[in-house]
Amino acid sequence: MPQRTVAVASRVGLHARPAMLFTQAVAETGLPVTIARPGGEPVDAGSILFVMSLGVPSGEEVTLTAEGEGADAALDSLVDLLATDLDAEEAS
């Protein structure tokens, strides 16, 4: 099962707007994707409630895992998204 680790770049971490954008992107993949904090249990990355409940701060690494055809490409795009400061767009 493909897996990626990425540091969350958004200033507020994985909360509110960044969490919404991330879970929408996960849903668009059509694949089962999980997200986990270091040493934590993975949760459904498509659920905004689960993602926000992780309480991931800015700069912390998370691990994404996906299963199915196209999982590597899906994870690559999700990693690119999390590595971007999604709050910066809000200021524009």
pLDDT digits (tens, 9 = 90+) for 9-38: 999 999 999 999 999 999 999 999 999 999
Which helix H or strand E contains 63, and what residues bound it? strand 61-66
Cα(15)–Cα(87) distance, rounded to whole angstroms?
Answer: 10
pLDDT (mean) for 69-80 = 98
% of the chain residues with pLDDT over 90: 90
Q: Is the pLDDT of residue 5 over 80?
A: yes
Cα(55)–Cα(3) distance, rounded to whole angstroms?
Answer: 21
Given a contact cutoff of 8 angstroms between Cβ atoms, the answer to whether 12 and 82 are in contact is no
Given a contact cutoff of 8 angstroms between Cβ atoms, the answer to whether 61 and 39 are in contact is no
Which helix H or strand E contains 66, and what residues bound it? strand 61-66
Residues with a catalytic annotation lie at 15
Written as one string, the DSSP assignment of 67-91 is -STTHHHHHHHHHHHHTS-TTHHHH
Given a contact cutoff of 8 angstroms between Cβ atoms, the answer to whether 68 and 6 are in contact is no
pLDDT (mean) for 40-45 = 97
Where does 3-91 sit in CATH, by number?
3.30.1340.10
